[in-house]
Structure formats: C-alpha cells, structure tokens
Chains A and B, each alone.
Chain A
Amino acid sequence: MMLRPLTIAAIAAALLAAPTAAQETIKIGIPVGLSGANSVVAPSVVQSSEFAAKEINEAGGILGKQIELVVADDNSGAQGAQRAFESLVYEEKVDVLISMETSAARNAGLPIVNRGRTPYIYTSFYEGRSCSPWMYINAWVPEQQVAPIVDHFMSEYEAKSYFLIGSDYAFGRGMLEFTRAYVESKGGEVLGEEYLPMDGSDWTAIISQLKASGADALITSTAGGAPNVTLTKQLRAAGVDLPYGNLAVDEGTAKSMGGDATGIYIAASYVTGIDSAENKAFLEGMAAMFGDDLITPNDLSVPQYEAIYAYKAAVEMAGATDAQGVIDTLDDVSVTGPRGTITMNAQRHAALTMYLGQVQADGTVNVIQSFENVDPGEQCPQFAN
C-alpha cells in the first residue's frame, strides 16, 4: 500500500516518457547468459553487439535513429530468462530482441515474446524446430552441423560405432537425437547415449561406459562453458583418444582449454580463418575497438553481429520499427557479413556455409573442408515461403 503513489508515478512517467524515448533511439534487447553455463561465450556476444551498434551509429543509425543496447543476464536458464525477457519486453519496451542464449532460456522467453509481440532474432546454433511467428534464426541447426562431422568420421576413420554424451537439456538431447538418427541412416550404430544434468561435473561413470563400449568415435553435445570443459578434461585424464566430435565447442573456448582440446573436431558456420574482405574488416574493427580485451569472435558472436545488421536492413526496407512490418520483411533482406551472404528465408532459418575444422595444439582451428549453402531442412513448415 505504501508503494501505490510511487507505482502510479512510475506508470505515469513511463506513459509520458515512452513516446518521446521511442523517437530518439531504437532499443535492442540482448538477453544473454552472463552467468551460468553460457558465461564463457556471453562476453564475446556482448562485444560483437557493441561493435555492430558502434558501426551503425557512426554511420548515422537506423532511419536516422541511434541504436541503444540493453543487455540483461538470463543466467543461462529458464528462470533467469523469464526475468530478463519480462524486463526487456515490458519495462524497457525494446523494439527487438537479438540474442544468443541456451535453448532452455529461449524456450522460457518465447511465450513472453509472443505475448509482447516483439520481433526476436535468435543467434545461437540450437537443436532445431523452434517456431514462433515473432522469431527468426540465423544460426545452424543439427541438419547443417552434424552431417559434416559424421561423414568425415565414416570416411576418414571408417568409424561405424558411436558413443554420444550430452548435457540433459533441450540442446543436448535434441542434437544427439538427431545425431543418432543420422548415424543410423548412414549404416552406423550408436552404442550408448548418456546425459548428465547441466550443473553436473562428475563424468566418471559415463566415461567408463564409453571405454567399455569399444565405440569407434565419440560425439558430445554439452552446454557450453563449464560442462564442456569438465567433460573434455576428464576424457583426456582417462586417456580417451577416439575421434572426438564436439557439437558445442567454439574456437575461443578451444583455445583457452589448451592441450586438452587438441584434436577435437568441430563444425561451424564461422571460423576466424574465413578468407573474405568482410571477415578481415570485421576482425580488424573488433581488434581496434576492444584491443587487449577482445574475446576471440566465434560462431555465436558473429551471427549476433550479423543479426543486428539484418534487423537494420529489415527496418529500412519496412520504413519503420513496427513489429509486424519488421517480421514481414526480415525474410526478404540479405546481409553480407563475416560468414558470407545470409538470408533468413528457409522457414525462418537460413542456409549456411559450414566449415569442418580440427583444433590444433596451439588452439587454432584448421579448416579441413567447407560445405557451401547447407540447407536447414524442414524446420518450421508453417512459415514456408
């Protein structure tokens, strides 16, 4: 009861302030896992967002309006995401949400996005088939990522039997279910599929099962950050040296993991070694802006950067920031960025060029093969063009 006058004042202030504020800037909400499982990669995503905003603002903004970023920590999980999305959509009243998040966080945030009718570009690779009238996705799904690794293991190592290890959440299970189906469709066999909770760190029993299974190859799909690190460390400590495909490691994490990451296979839509003018300009601009604090740009931070440009292009084509207009034009605009030219016109997803790489002893990723414009397949048929 004590709060009532204050609340009324706050609502009145918000009502009075909102129209003018909306005229001055375009607010981009970035819910991201600064704490929790995504905390290793989140800072790089914030950096690439800041870089995109700086570039766009220096070039005159979007339709003459400056971009304002509002970053909110989603704690890499459902509860934190609910708070972050509520606050961004209803309190900050952002014009768009552009974010790299865990699948748990995305799934928790989507109902709020749908209720708040806010355009949402999801920029993290994920397990696929998440559909909302308000969401676009510019990162890869299993159809695009698993095939290069499994195909390589089958041809290079003649690996027939596979062991799958993951974190127990939507991405971990989704990726490995797809991997199992893909391996079996290619005539291979899955000997085991084991999961640990996202905050679990003791992989002892699973690693023993892996060793006992006699599998030819190992494919893992953990949450990024801590689970990925603990699993890889314990695998190496147990002397596991099978062909090892990791569906959730990025270049930067691989680098900081040192020798333990050596030999891991990854498939990504972005590696720093892409030889294009756009990628060179991007890397130089990032280095100039952040200097020694630069976190290596990666397959999560680059889609984030490109998504901000995709939003800019959509607003400019629509001529306004109104949500429905932006959603209607997002699949018509193409953005040429560090990963090449990308259009989100494949059932709200995008065809991507994928790179199969192997982590070297010095932490760099050696590209073994690239696959042009890999199609995401059937993701959201209700949004087929």
Chain B
Amino acid sequence: MANLALDMITTSAILFIVASGLMIILGVMKLINFAHGAFLTVGGYAAYLTTEAGLSPWLAPLLAVAAGFGAGIIVERIIVRPLYHRPLDAILATWGLGIIIGQLITLGFGREVQFAASPMTGTLDLGGVEYSAYRLTLTAFAIAIGAALTALLYLTRFGLNARAVIMNETLARGVGIDSARVRSLTFGLGAGLACGAGALITPLLSVDPNMGLPWLVNSFMLVLVSGVSIPSLAVASLILGSAQVAVSTYVSPIIGGLTIVVLAAVLLRLYPKGLGRGM
C-alpha cells in the first residue's frame, strides 16, 4: 500500500515536471506549444551529450535548461513573434517546429536508442519500504520547480509583469509593460523547463528521437484540465497520475496508458474551464 502511494506521488511529480513548461507558455502567450515534446527530446539528448563529454550526469538538467532557454528565445523571435496576431497559425508553427527538431535529431544522431548515464542508482529505505532513490529525487525536484515558479511569479518584477500580461495584455501594455519582452522570456523559460524535464526523466527512459511524443500528449491533457495555475497543475498531476497508477495496478497496464486521456476528457466535461481560476 505504501508502495502504491509512492508510485502515485512520484508519477504525479514526473507529470508535473514535464507539464510545467507547457503551462507557463500557455499562461502568458495563450499558445499551446506543440514543440514541447521535441524540447523534451532535446533535453534527453543534452543528457546524452553531457554523459558523452564525461561530465557529471547531475549537470545534465542544468545544461539542458540553459540550452533550452537560449533556443527558446531564438525560436520565439524567429517563428512565434511574427505570428502573434494569428494564434492558430502560431500553434501550427510550433507543431511544424516540433517535426523539424525531431528530424534534425534523427539526422544528427540516427534513429537508434542512445544511453545516458544515471546520476544515481539504487533505493532508499523509507520506514520499511524500499523505493527508487531517483524517483524520490524527482519528487523533490518537482516541489522545487513548483516553489521556484511560484516565487518567480509572485516575488519578482518579471513575475508581476507576467501576471499582468496573463490577466489583461492590452491593459498591461497601456501601463508601460513591455509585453513582447515578457513573452520572449516566457517562451525561453518554458522551453528551458521542457528541456530540463527531458534531461530529468532520461535516467528512467531511453533517449531516442521520439521520446518526447507520449509526454506531449499527457502534458497537453494535464494543462487543459488544470488551467493556468501552479497549484491546480499540481492537483491535476496528482489526480491524473494517481489514476494512471491505480488503473495500471488494479486493471491492466495497457489500459493504464489510456487513463490520463480518458479521465481528462471526463474532467473537462465537468469543469470546462479547467480546475484553476488563473494565477
């Protein structure tokens, strides 16, 4: 039973880490970033390259965040910004960007599975229950990411500007907030979070050009259910992640894989605007 609870909590934590970058971009830019899965994949390859270079695997998430942030700023300037006033086209553009990134990775690294070193192995003893140390570490990372994002939004000038843009972009511009800069930094932040998440989940997965794809679908569902708010993303992750583990355990792992998508559809029927009410 304790093990089941830990499975639920850690699975939810992983979902939260993976979906946070997508939610930040949706909040500020009103844009579902369909290149999110590709950014996760880039993070996985960043972990692979870190290992190849002989660096500590602990550096991988940091390097991935830095690379993702830089790439995000550039992508925002070249691809997303010209489409500000055509939101549907912008979504399509991110979809295309995801395909391009996937193909570039295939060209550069081939289609085969790559291996990245794990930063830690083994289990921790939690009062009689042996549990994967890395999954527990990921849970700590999820809490840290949630806290850091909250602090960023509520304790910094950038956060104040970002919240203003989220609430009413026209008004924010009217009082002199440079909303273009906010959008640019936000896209960088979202891409950085996605790449960092890719590097963080790599020790539990294989690195290949399609590794991000299943996570894109789950993140998308999570963000739709949660709406734009960090606590509600945490709640949505807990509900959907726990449901997936419960169905996998008690019904069948094959049906477990469908749980998030099906349950998200049901939740959206009951709460069409998502669980959250804005940041």
Binding site for B on A (CB under 8 A): 34-36, 39-40, 42-43, 168, 194-197, 199-206, 208-209, 211-212, 225-226, 229-230, 233-234, 236-239, 256-260
Contacts of A204 in B (CB 8 A): 7, 10-11, 245, 248
Q: Is the CB of A225 within 8 A of B206?
A: yes
In whole angstroms, what is the CA distance A39 to B206 when docked? 12
Q: Is the CB of A201 within 8 A of B205?
A: yes
Q: Is the CB of A199 within 8 A of B214?
A: yes
User: A39-B208, A209-B249 given as contacts; is B132 within 8 A of A239 (CB)?
Assistant: yes
Contacts of B132 in A (CB 8 A): 234, 237-239
Q: How far is the CB of B157 from chain A (nearest CB, A)?
A: 39
Encoded as 1 (CB less than 8 Å from any A CB) or 0, chain B from 57 to 87 comes to 0000000000000000000000000000000
Q: How far is the CB of A81 from chain B (nearest CB, A)?
A: 16
B107 within 8 A of A: no
Provide a sorted-by-A list of 21 A–B residue pairs whose CB atoms are within 8 angstroms: A39-B110, A39-B113, A196-B257, A202-B257, A204-B10, A206-B248, A208-B4, A211-B3, A211-B130, A212-B3, A225-B206, A226-B113, A226-B206, A226-B211, A229-B205, A233-B204, A234-B204, A236-B121, A237-B134, A237-B203, A258-B115
Q: Is the CB of A200 within 8 A of B257?
A: yes
Contacts of A194 in B (CB 8 A): 253
Contacts of A196 in B (CB 8 A): 253-254, 257
B111 within 8 A of A: yes
Binding site for A on B (CB under 8 A): 3-4, 7, 10-11, 110-113, 115, 117-118, 121-123, 130-135, 203-206, 208, 211, 214, 244-245, 248-249, 253-254, 256-257
Q: Is the CB of B111 within 8 A of A35?
A: yes
Q: Is the CB of A230 within 8 A of B204?
A: yes
Contacts of B118 in A (CB 8 A): 233, 237, 260
User: A208-B3, A236-B121, A238-B123 given as contacts; is B206 within 8 A of A230 (CB)?
Assistant: yes
Contacts of B254 in A (CB 8 A): 168, 195-197, 200
In whole angstroms, what is the CA distance A194 to B248 when docked? 10
In whole angstroms, what is the CA distance A259 to B111 when docked? 23
Counting from the closest, the 8 A-B pairs by CB-CB distance are A205-B248, A239-B123, A229-B206, A226-B206, A237-B132, A35-B111, A39-B112, A205-B249
Q: How far is the CB of B133 from chain A (nearest CB, A)?
A: 7
Chain B residue with minimal CB distance to A42?
B112
In whole angstroms, what is the CA distance A205 to B135 when docked? 13
Q: Is the CB of B135 within 8 A of A197?
A: no
In whole angstroms, what is the CA distance A230 to B123 when docked? 17
User: A206-B248, A233-B205, A237-B204 given as contacts; is B111 within 8 A of A39 (CB)?
Assistant: yes
Q: Is the CB of B203 within 8 A of A233?
A: yes
Q: How far is the CB of B5 from chain A (nearest CB, A)?
A: 10
Q: How far is the CB of B83 from chain A (nearest CB, A)?
A: 31
| Most interface-central of A42, A205, A209 (chain B CB within 10 A) | A205
